[in-house]
Amino acid sequence: MGLSILNDEENAIRDAARALVQKEIAPRSGEFDQKEIYPRANLELLGQQGYLGMIVEPEYGGAGTTYLAQTLVVESIAEVDPATAVIYEVHCSLHIEGIWRFGTDAQKRRWLPSLCRGEAIGAFALSEAEAGSNAAALATRAVRVPGGYRVTGRKMFITSGGEAERYLLFATVDPALKTKGITAFIVEKDAPGLHFGPPLEKLGIRASRTSEVIVDDVFVPDENRLGAEGDGYTIALYLLDGGRIGIAAQGVGIMSAALARSLTYAQERKQFGKPIGSFEGVQWRLANMATDLHAARLMTYEAARHREEGPSQRPLFAMAKLFSSEHAVRHAEDAIQIFGGYGYMREYGVERLLRDAKITEIYEGTSEIMRWVIASQLLKDYDLDNI
């Protein structure tokens, strides 16, 4: 039947993605989480099936779909495997999209086809140990030398760090220029001087490798610079706008899983001689979960439909991420509560929803930063009809 808030084509894309994910990704998802196995096979499969770089035109290896189509795929993956969903999201929204929007024709031809096929995985290296929410304070330095730059610094918490074949990496050519000195580069994994810390041990999305990226006097040729010198900060913020829609979709996927699991359990589990779903206390929780899920979907899909308008819609993207991520955490807690003691046990896989949901409130801009983005716009240009 599909979702009434999507058209037939969008529902068809969502149905196809969900069918693939349920058949191929769901069966090993729990094992990958427990053993912290990086799901490269999932990315390769998604590439083979045409789900990577969906917004990229076919001439560069993509499918030429809408942004919403890609957002629906993130949601579908996150329903069963939020770790694969974030790797997919970083690969598509932050790395591929960066090359697609800001690369030259030669750069697009050189890098996009292998990324769209899943033969190479892309990462996004902006954060540093001392520059997280305030990414503009990054200290990685790029010094001009004949034919390119020598880059030195350390990047923290990089998704797919050590697994990805390529890194969209941000460094400053002159710290005195502040944001106007930040420049974007594509650095290959095998570049001499590029090293990786061990996988960091995490609460959730455990199959997604997160590592430090150590850049030790790495030579980056001119042809690997993305955009002009000093464009990097604008590029990073532009990409994070889209990334936030992706994280909102990740939250929606987790909420959808939490509700589906809760509904089934509420009808099966009996106490006091009746299914627990017959008790008002449980029903109200389910009703609130369904209402919030619908609202989060509307906000996320609306944000995706406005993606092409760029930074002018930044508050809309932030609202979608804020609402979806905070409700994903709450719904994961609700699902555990509905499952009672069984919800707390690993065997049931419901505790994983909470472990995986929490990160959505942190990466690609914390909830506090989302509120800051929204409030800044309200205070600058408050227009009740255009929020």
Ligand X SMILES: Cc1cc2nc3c(=O)[nH]c(=O)nc-3n(C[C@H](O)[C@H](O)[C@H](O)COP(=O)(O)OP(=O)(O)OC[C@H]3O[C@@H](n4cnc5c(N)ncnc54)[C@H](O)[C@@H]3O)c2cc1C
Residue 125 beta carbon to ligand X: minimum distance, rounded to whole angstroms: 6
Compute CA 255 distance to the chain's CA centroid, rounded to the nearest angstrom: 15
Question: CA-CA distances (angstroms) from residue 383 to 49, 55, 84, 380, 386?
Answer: 43, 31, 38, 10, 5
Q: Whose structure tokens read 């913020």?
A: 237
CA distance 321 to 370: 8
Least distance to ligand X, CB of residue 37, Å: 16
Nearest distance from residue 111's CB to ligand X, in Å? 18
Nearer to ligand X, 252 or 369 (CB): 369
Q: How far apart are CA 369 and CA 132, in angstroms?
A: 11
Which residue among 57, 119, 364, 368 is the active-site one?
364
Residue 260: both structure tokens together: 């589906």
What six digits make up the tokens of 58? 């076919």
Count, in order, helices (H) and strands (E) of the chain. Answer: 12, 10
CB 204 to ligand X: min, Å? 8
What span, in angstroms and rounded, lies between the C-alpha atoms of 85 and 315? 23
Choose between 25 and 125: whose C-beta lies nearer to ligand X: 125
Residue whose tokens read 């699991």: 261
CA 208-214-219 angle, to 5 degrees, is 120
Phi, psi angles (nearest 5°) of residue 218? -85, 130
The DSSP code for 146 is: T
Contact residues toward ligand X (CB under 6 A) are 90, 123-127, 132-133, 157-159, 202, 210, 359, 362-366, 368-369, 372
Quote the least distance from Cβ 330 to ligand X, whole Å.
Answer: 17
Question: Please, which residue, 129 or 298, has the CB nearer to ligand X?
Answer: 129
Please identify, using beta-carbon distances, which residue of 91 and 306 lies nearer to ligand X: 91
- Which residue lies nearer to ligand X by CB, 253 or 343? 253
Cβ proximity to ligand X: between 210 and 313 the closer is: 210
Compute the least distance from the CB of residue 97 to ligand X, in Å. Answer: 14
d(CA 14, CA 248): 16
CB atoms within 10 A of CB 297: 22
- The residue among 358, 337, 250 whose CA lies nearest residue 285 is 337
Task: Quickly list DSSP for 258-327.
Answer: HHHHHHHHHHH-EETTEEGGGSHHHHHHHHHHHHHHHHHHHHHHHHHHTGGGGGGGHHHHHHHHHHHHHH
364 is known as an active-site residue: yes
Distance of closest approach, residue 203 Cβ to ligand X, in angstroms? 9
User: What is the rounded distance in angstroms from the CA atom of residue 240 to the CA atom of residue 353?
Assistant: 24
> Which is closer to ligand X, CB of 20 or CB of 218?
218
Residue nearest to ligand X (CB): 132
Catalytic machinery residues? 364
